[in-house]
A and B are shown apart, each in its own frame.
Chain A
Amino acid sequence: MNHLLSTHDLSIDEIVQLLELADHMAEINSRAVPKVPALRGKTIASVFFEDSTRTRLSFETAAKRLSAEVMTFSASTSSVNKGESLRDTIETLTAMGVHAFVVRHKSSGVPKQITQWTNAAVVNAGDGWHQHPTQAMLDAYTITRNFGDKESMAGRTIAIVGDIKHSRVARSNVDVFTRMGANVVLVAPDALLPSSIEGWNVSTASSIDEVVGHVDVLYMLRMQRERMDESLVISLKEYTDLYALTEERAARLAPHALLMHPGPINRGVEMQVDPSEVPGSRILQQVANGISVRMAVLFSLLGGEISPAATLGGEA
C-alpha cells in the first residue's frame, strides 16, 4: 500500500489485516501511556483544505501516539489564501521532508491528483462526495468487534439513512460493507440518492420505518441544512417525518442492533433522540476506534519493513 485514496484500492484481505492491526493499536491506546516509537523520525503533514475537527484531531492524535512529527496546515490561514496552487502547496511541503500527507478537500479526487506531485504517501481524509476510507474502516472495525465476528459482517443488515448522494461516508461504507458480506439498505428520498446505483449491490427503502425494526446496524448520516436551503429536496419537516430517528423509532431497534453516526450529529434534525439514551449507540465508540484504525493506516503506510510486533511492543 503506497497511498490510501479509496476503499476500492483495498482488497477485503487487506482490510481485515488493517483491522487486526487496529486491535494492536487499541491495546496501545488502553495503556497508561498510550504512545510507542513506531514512527519516530517520520513527518506527517495534516493538510486540511476544508474545515474538520474530529477527523483532523483523530489523525493527529493517531500520528502522535506513533511518535510521528505532525505538521499542520489549514487552508484558511495559509498561502492558499494568497492564491497558491494545489501543486505548489504540495511540492513545497514535500520539499520540507514530509513522509505522508493526510488530505481533506471539498473537491472529489484531490488526494488522487496530489499523488503526482509528491513521493510521500497520501491518505484521503475525505474528498468531496467521493470517499472517506478511514471512516469506512473504523465503522467496519466497530461493527465487526461489536458482533464478535472479526473477519466478516456476512449476512448482517445495515441501513444507511440520509443524504447518500452527497456523502463520501456512504460511498466508502457501501463499498466496504457490501464486500464484507453485509446486506446494505439505502434509506433516502430519491433526490438524495445518486442518479445511478448500478453496481452498488444495495437495496433501497423510502422511509426509516420500513427498516428500523429489523436492522443489525442503523447508520445515520448527517443531514446538511445547506442542502435544504438549495431546496434540492423536500422540506425539513417532510425529511424528518420520514428519515429522522425519533425516540419512538429508536425503541423499535432490536436489542442487539447498533446505532452509528459519523458525526457531527445534527440534533433535532436527523437525530431527534438523545443518542446516549439509545442502548445500542456506538457513536462515541466509533470516535475512539477511529484513532486505532488511523494508527493502523499510518503505520501500514510508513512503518516499512519493521514488523508491527517488534515495533509496537516498546514504549516511547
Chain B
Amino acid sequence: MSATKSIVIRGATVVNPDAVFEADVRVVGALIDAVGDALEGDIVLDGKGCYVSSGFVDLHTHLREPGKEEAETIESGSRAAALGGYTAVVAMPNTDPAQDNVATVRFVREQGIKANLCEVMPSGCITVGRLGAELVSYAGLADEGVTLFTDDGTGVQDEDTMKRALVSARLANVTLAQHCEVSSMTNGAVMHDGACCSSLGVPGWPSLAEEQMVQRDIDLVRATGAKMHFLHLSTQGSVQMVRQAKAEGLPITAEVTPHHLSLLDELLTSFDPIFKVNPPLRTAADIAALKAGVLDGTIDAIATDHAPHAGHTKEQPLDQAPPGMLGLETALAVVNTSMKLDARKIVELMSWNPARIAGLDARHGRAVAVGEPANLCVWNTADVWEVSREGLASKSKNTPYHGMNVRGRVRHTLFNGQIVVNEGKATR
C-alpha cells in the first residue's frame, strides 16, 4: 500500500463552536492532522472565500432502497448527500421491506458502506411495518447501532401505543422521531387548508392535524420522561408549542426543512405535483414563525426530508401524486438564500445539532481540530447558481427549485479523510 497522501484545505475560514478563524486544515488518513497557517500537503484544495466545518448531517433522508430503486438508490442518494456537503444521513425506514428488522437495517448500512460517499445511518420503525400497532424491539435494533426510530410518512395515531413506545424507547435509550399528522384530519388532503386551497378546490390539509399530534406528544413526553424529536414542523402553532415545552425543560428537539422555510402554498396554483409535500407548504405567517424558531433555538436542526419520486409518479393528477421533494443538493443554498444566518448558526443547524440528535457525534458534527475525524465540508455563502434538475445526482428530478437562482455552494466534501466532492463535482 502506498503512503497516504496528505490533503490541505487552504485559505478557508474554520467554523467551530467556540471560534471562527482563518486557517489551513491538513488531513492525513481519516483524521485532521494539523490546523494552522501556511500548511503544505500532497493535495491542495482551494478554500478561499469558503468556510470549512464539520460535514453536514441530515436527520431526514429517504434513500428509497430497498423497494423503490427506480426513484433512488443508496448509492445515488449518498452521492447527492456528498454534493450537498453531508457526511452522514439518517435513512428513513419507510422502505419495502420497512426498516423494522435487523436484516433490513444491516442491508441499508452495508449498501452505504459499499457506496462509501457518506455515512448512511439507518433509522428504525416505531411500529412493525409502520402500521401503528405492534412495537418494534428498540433494544434489538439499538444493538445494530440504530439510535433514531420513526414511522415517518405517518404518525403513530394511537395514544396508548405511542405512550408504550416512549416508555420502551426510554429503557433502550433511543430517541423516537414523530411525523406529526392526525391522519383522520388529512384524508385525501392535497395542500395547506387556507385561502389558496379553498380557491383551487382541493381537499385541505389543516395546520391543526399537525398541531394536535405535537401537543399530544408533548404531553406524553412529560408523562414518560422519554426523548422525542419532532420531524419537519410546518406550522406556527407547532413552533409555539415546542418553544413552551422546551422552556419547561422537556427533552424535545425539532427540525424544519429548507422547503418549509422558503416555499409558499400558493405555488400549488400551478397544480404541479412537484410542490406537493407532506406536511404541505404553508403560509407566509408560518414561514415567519419557523424562521423565528430557527433563530431563537426552538428549532434545533435543518433536515431535508429528501424524498425522491420517479418522474411518472409526479405526472399524475395532484390528488393522486405522491408527496415529497428532493432536498440534499440544495439544502445549504436554499437555507442561506431564505434566511440571514451567520456561518456558525448554519453549522449548528446542519451539523452539530443533528449529529447529536442522531447519536452520530462521535464521528460527525465535531470541531475542526487536530485528531478529529476528517468528515468535513468546504462551502460558501456567496456563490449564486441556478438549480437545474438535470444537473442533480439524485436518480429523481423532483426538485421544486428548478430554474431558481440560489446563493451558497458546497465546494469540497471529505468523508473519512477522502475527497468525495472536489470543486462541486463528485469524485466517484
Chain B 201-228 interface 0/1 with A at a Cβ cutoff of 8 Å (1 = within): 1101010000000000000000000000
Q: Is the CB of B201 within 8 A of A195?
A: no
8 Å CB contact of A107 from B197, B206, B318: B318
How far is it, in angstroms, between the C-alpha of A113 and the C-alpha of B320 when the chains are bound?
A: 13
Q: Is the CB of A85 within 8 A of B315?
A: yes
Q: Is the CB of B319 within 8 A of A128?
A: yes
Q: Is the CB of A196 within 8 A of B194?
A: yes
Cβ contacts under 8 Å, B199 to chain A:
171, 194, 199-200
8 Å CB contact of B271 from A86, A87, A109: A109
In the complex, A168 has a CB within 8 A of chain B: yes
Closest Cβ of chain A: how far from B311's Cβ, in Å? 10
In the complex, A108 has a CB within 8 A of chain B: yes
How far is it, in angstroms, between the C-alpha of A110 and the C-alpha of B319 when the chains are bound?
A: 10
Cβ contacts under 8 Å, A112 to chain B:
270-271
In the complex, A284 has a CB within 8 A of chain B: no
Cβ contacts under 8 Å, A86 to chain B:
315-317
Cβ contacts under 8 Å, A129 to chain B:
201-202
Closest Cβ of chain B: how far from A170's Cβ, in Å? 9
Chain B residues 65 to 105 lying within 8 A of chain A, measured CB to CB, are: none
Chain A 164-207 interface 0/1 with B at a Cβ cutoff of 8 Å (1 = within): 00101001000000000000000000000011111110000000
Of all chain A residues, which has the CB nearest B312?
A85
Chain A interface category by residue count: 20 to 34
Closest Cβ of chain A: how far from B402's Cβ, in Å? 14
Of all chain A residues, which has the CB nearest B311?
A87
Q: A112-B271, A196-B194, A199-B195 are in contact. Are A128 and B315 (CB under 8 A)?
A: no
In the complex, A142 has a CB within 8 A of chain B: no
In the complex, A130 has a CB within 8 A of chain B: yes
Closest Cβ of chain B: how far from A186's Cβ, in Å? 12
Chain B residues 232 to 283 lying within 8 A of chain A, measured CB to CB, are: 270-272
Q: Is the CB of B194 within 8 A of A195?
A: yes
Cβ contacts under 8 Å, A166 to chain B:
201
Q: Is the CB of A195 within 8 A of B198?
A: yes
Residues of B within 8 A of A (CB-CB), count: 22
In the complex, A131 has a CB within 8 A of chain B: yes
How far is it, in angstroms, between the C-alpha of A100 and the C-alpha of B190 when the chains are bound?
A: 29
How far is it, in angstroms, between the C-alpha of A208 and the C-alpha of B317 when the chains are bound?
A: 36
Of all chain A residues, which has the CB nearest B201?
A129
Q: Is the CB of A108 within 8 A of B202?
A: yes
Of all chain B residues, which has the CB nearest A200?
B199
How far is it, in angstroms, between the C-alpha of A200 and the C-alpha of B271 when the chains are bound?
A: 20
Cβ contacts under 8 Å, B271 to chain A:
108-110, 112-113
Closest Cβ of chain A: how far from B97's Cβ, in Å? 25
Q: A85-B315, A113-B317 are in contact. Are A196 and B198 (CB under 8 A)?
A: yes
Cβ contacts under 8 Å, B319 to chain A:
107-108, 128
Q: Is the CB of A109 within 8 A of B316?
A: no
8 Å CB contact of B201 from A110, A131, A196: A131
Closest Cβ of chain B: how far from A87's Cβ, in Å? 5
8 Å CB contact of A105 from B190, B270, B312, B317: B317
How far is it, in angstroms, between the C-alpha of A86 and the C-alpha of B198 when the chains are bound?
A: 25
Q: Is the CB of A195 within 8 A of B193?
A: yes
Q: Which residue, A86, A109, A194, has most C-beta atoms of chain B within 10 A?
A: A109
Q: Is the CB of B200 within 8 A of A130?
A: yes
Q: Can you list 24 contacts pairing A with B, beta carbon distance less than 8 Å? A: A86-B316, A86-B317, A87-B312, A87-B315, A105-B317, A107-B318, A108-B201, A108-B317, A108-B318, A108-B319, A109-B200, A109-B317, A113-B315, A129-B201, A130-B201, A130-B202, A168-B201, A194-B197, A195-B193, A195-B194, A195-B197, A196-B197, A198-B198, A199-B195
Using CB atoms and an 8 Å cutoff, list the residues of chain B in contact with chain A: 190, 193-195, 197-202, 204, 206, 270-272, 312, 315-320
